[in-house]
Chains A and B, each alone.
Chain A
Amino acid sequence: MKGHAESAAPFVANEPRAHWHDESLWFVRVKRDRQAATVPEWEDLRSTASAIKAHTLSRLADYLEEFERNATANGIHVHWARDGAEHNAIVLKILNDHGVKRLVKSKSMLTEECHLNPYLEAHGIEVTDTDLGERIVQMRKEPPSHIVLPAIHLKKEDIGELFHIQLGTEKGASDPKYLTEAARGHLRERFLGAQAGLTGVNFAIASTGGVVVCTNEGNADMGTSLPPIHIASMGVEKIVPRPRDLAIFLRLLARSATGQPVTTYTSHFHGPLPGGEMHVVIVDNGRARILGEEAFRRSLSCIRCGACMNTCPVYRRSGGYSYGYTVPGPIGSILGPQRDPAAYGSLPFASSLCGSCTDVCPVKIDLHHELLAFRQELAKKGYLPWQKRFSMWVMGQVLARKWAFLLGGRLMRTLMPLLPRALVYGPWNPWGKQRELPPMPRESFRDLLKKEPR
């Protein structure tokens, strides 16, 4: 699998588009700053949220079982899935049991992670993603490039072209209002024809046995109000103990995600429609293993707001697809390689470790420290390319010995100016592709120090 740098190259090469992407996400980041600033106790909220998550994760099994008891009492069917395959099989069985052929979905990164859509489609079910951005990428047969803004990599002209082909809108039309109206009409038909609705879960409340879904388009409500069957897919980490904990997270989530005070729709589901059925599928898919890793445990606190992506200078300039994992950006670069270090081993290096992600994170995940720690983890497990290990070993050996360090420095400073430019700036020198090397001084600091009057 290609590494991040390689996958990012074509995105960066289209500089105007990379700048446009950067500006679009920075705009969201600035909106977030403005909203966060309106809450005087913002930093306290972050600390509280972080503490609630730490507490909940320390008693995860207890809270999940409490949730199951209360949800069952509410008339909800609770299912447990060890991995993506089990999750998909459970969903398919529920659909088959009721003869469902048409499913509408609201946004769920968990089902992306489990590759639910292709699985259901292979089993003859028509799946429609109903979040506008999700629908757009679904029509393009692409995964989302961002967890909150799935089609952020596309311009309105791209969408106009897509809708012209798929929905028969006028050629060349790119007015967002016109395109949204077209999508609305198209989705309305799908909602009306659906036999079941599937949603993600933003929060599940242990003490009440209900789940909460946050959307800006109301599509989760449409998808669960019309068809009689509601399936909600949740990762084990989505649990919070009590409704009052929810209040903390709801204040943080929308502000961090999109710079809104609150999501347009925050829907609480505590049971099936009259005469209908509600199912919650609780999925582990590697999460319990992460919980066992002390250095990376905090990554499970993530509430999927996407703020780390919006603020990440690398994500903004390389796009979601450069990460090659369901969840891109800083948090994805921790979650991905935990699942498959061989496939996603380059992701912890796709960061300048600037720490902006850590400071923006509403639940205070120490993202850039986890990225750094994961680099060491990859080295320990033997996933670093030998060239990197070897060059760092050599560097360590040289720097550990003063004489070698001074000799190396002197050689570099003396020889570099004598070498032909073509040799210094050959293709083997990535530094020099777009940058000059610093001018080589004749003397080092310690040489000059000897001449410095005391």
Chain B
Amino acid sequence: MPKVGLFIPCYVDQLYPQVGLSTLRVLRGLGLDIEFPEEQTCCGQPMANSGCGEDARPLAEKFLRIFARYDHVVAPSGSCVSMVRNHYEQWLAGKPGFEHLRDNTFELCEYLVDVAKVTRVDGDFARKVGLHMSCHGLRELRMASSSERMVAPFNKVKVLLEQLRGIQLVDLKRPDECCGFGGTFAVAEEAVSCLMGQDRIRDHEQAGAEVIAGFDMSCLMHLEGLLTRDKKPMQVLHVAQILEHARLS
């Protein structure tokens, strides 16, 4: 049985512990051997994203030290996984174990579909759900076809969710528009960021969604912040939280 290292992004660990727990439970439900290495903190994306690559380097090196010994590394975040898979090269190229780490770090849904080969999801979720395909999972990890590219449509998150009994996945006008979070962008470009978020919410509203589901808590944190401020009833949920009570096989 493969040994799986659980990577819980820093802000999920501190602010959304339930999402971490749901991820763990989903993976354990598959009978996988999961370990949460206590030494982990952050992948370094906030610093790299701001241009301060040298401040991110020690975190990339630390990540390699911690996670190199696992067969697979799984995280409930498309963005942090993209950091490891697409951006660690600049600091870790040639280091022992790096290529293995890069090729074996997965976002939760893509792990379930591509590696654990889950084909059946047995459970209930009788809600109207809008799926927010966050950009890094979509266009950096290719978890789904993006609307710009002329390729056969696919969506690794949808194939899991649509099997839940009672779920109604609603149609958005702009299925893969960015929500405007963008890491430090959310603060540095507050006005544009919030307008993007409002537009994203309106698209879910017009589609009749009760829940915005996603696989990046950062995007959802931004949308939730806007929803709460505006006292809107729509809820945000991480896919792991939705899958937690289902049986996967």
Which A residues contact B (CB, under 8 angstroms)?
A: 4-5, 8-9, 12-13, 15, 18-19, 22, 26, 33, 36-37, 39-40, 42-43, 311, 313-314, 317-318, 348-356, 358-360, 372, 375-379, 384, 388-389, 392-393, 395-397, 399-402, 405, 409, 412-413, 430-431, 433-438, 440-441, 443-449, 452
The segment from B99-107, B120-128, B161-169, B225-233 found at the interface with A is B225-233
Within 8 A of A (CB), among B13-66: 13-18, 20-21, 24, 36, 38-42, 44, 46-56, 58-59, 62
Which of A372, A397, A452 touches B24 (beta carbons < 8 Å)? A452
A/B interface sample: 20 pairs, CB < 8 A: A18-B195, A314-B189, A317-B196, A350-B192, A355-B135, A356-B176, A372-B48, A372-B49, A375-B51, A402-B41, A405-B42, A409-B10, A412-B14, A436-B225, A441-B18, A445-B12, A445-B17, A445-B21, A448-B18, A448-B20
A-B pairs with the 4 shortest C-beta distances?
A: A352-B182, A435-B225, A396-B55, A375-B51
B221: chain A residues within 8 A (beta carbon): 438
Compute how far the CA of A43 lies from the CA of B150 in the bound complex, rounded to whole angstroms.
6
Compute how far the CA of A409 lies from the CA of B49 in the bound complex, rounded to whole angstroms.
21
The tally of residues in B whose CB lies under 8 Å from a CB in A reads: 75
A452: chain B residues within 8 A (beta carbon): 21, 24
Within the complex, what minimum Cβ distance (angstroms) separates A439 from chain B? Answer: 8
Interface of A is mostly: helix
Taking a contact as CB atoms under 8 Å apart, the answer to whether A435 and B178 are in contact is: no
A26: chain B residues within 8 A (beta carbon): 174
Taking a contact as CB atoms under 8 Å apart, the answer to whether A444 and B17 are in contact is: yes
Is the C-beta of B238 less than 8 angstroms from some C-beta in chain A?
no
Q: Mark B102-140, 1 if CB is under 8 A from A, else 0.
A: 000000000000000000000000000000000110111
Q: Mark B187-206, 1 if CB is under 8 A from A, else 0.
A: 11111111111010000000
Known A-B contacts: A317-B192, A352-B135, A445-B20. Give 15 more (CB < 8 A): A5-B189, A42-B150, A313-B177, A313-B196, A354-B135, A354-B178, A356-B135, A356-B176, A379-B51, A402-B38, A405-B41, A412-B14, A444-B17, A445-B12, A446-B36
Within the complex, what minimum Cβ distance (angstroms) separates A379 from chain B? Answer: 4
**Given A15-B195, A353-B135: A447 touches B17 (CB 8 Å cut-off):** yes
Taking a contact as CB atoms under 8 Å apart, the answer to whether B180 and A352 are in contact is: yes
Which of A318, A389, A445 touches B8 (beta carbons < 8 Å)? A445
Which of B10, B51, B186 touches A378 (beta carbons < 8 Å)? B51
Which of A33, A354, A433 touches B139 (beta carbons < 8 Å)? A354
Compute how far the CA of A389 lies from the CA of B226 in the bound complex, rounded to whole angstroms.
28
Which of B46, B51, B182, B224 touches A351 (beta carbons < 8 Å)? B182
A353: chain B residues within 8 A (beta carbon): 49, 135-136, 182-183, 185
A444: chain B residues within 8 A (beta carbon): 13-14, 17
Within the complex, what minimum Cβ distance (angstroms) separates A346 from chain B? Answer: 8
B186: chain A residues within 8 A (beta carbon): 431
A379: chain B residues within 8 A (beta carbon): 50-54
Taking a contact as CB atoms under 8 Å apart, the answer to whether A314 and B187 are in contact is: no
Taking a contact as CB atoms under 8 Å apart, the answer to whether B146 and A438 are in contact is: no
Taking a contact as CB atoms under 8 Å apart, the answer to whether B225 and A438 are in contact is: yes
**Given A352-B181, A405-B10, A448-B17: A384 touches B52 (CB 8 Å cut-off):** yes
Which of B18, B44, B191, B193 touches A352 (beta carbons < 8 Å)? B193
Query: CB-nearest residue of chain A relative to B187?
Result: A430
Query: CB-nearest residue of chain B relative to A401?
Result: B41
Taking a contact as CB atoms under 8 Å apart, the answer to whether B38 and A356 are in contact is: no
Taking a contact as CB atoms under 8 Å apart, the answer to whether A22 and B10 are in contact is: no
Taking a contact as CB atoms under 8 Å apart, the answer to whether B180 and A313 are in contact is: yes
Query: Which of A354, A396, A438 has the largest count of B CB atoms less than 10 A from its CB?
Result: A354
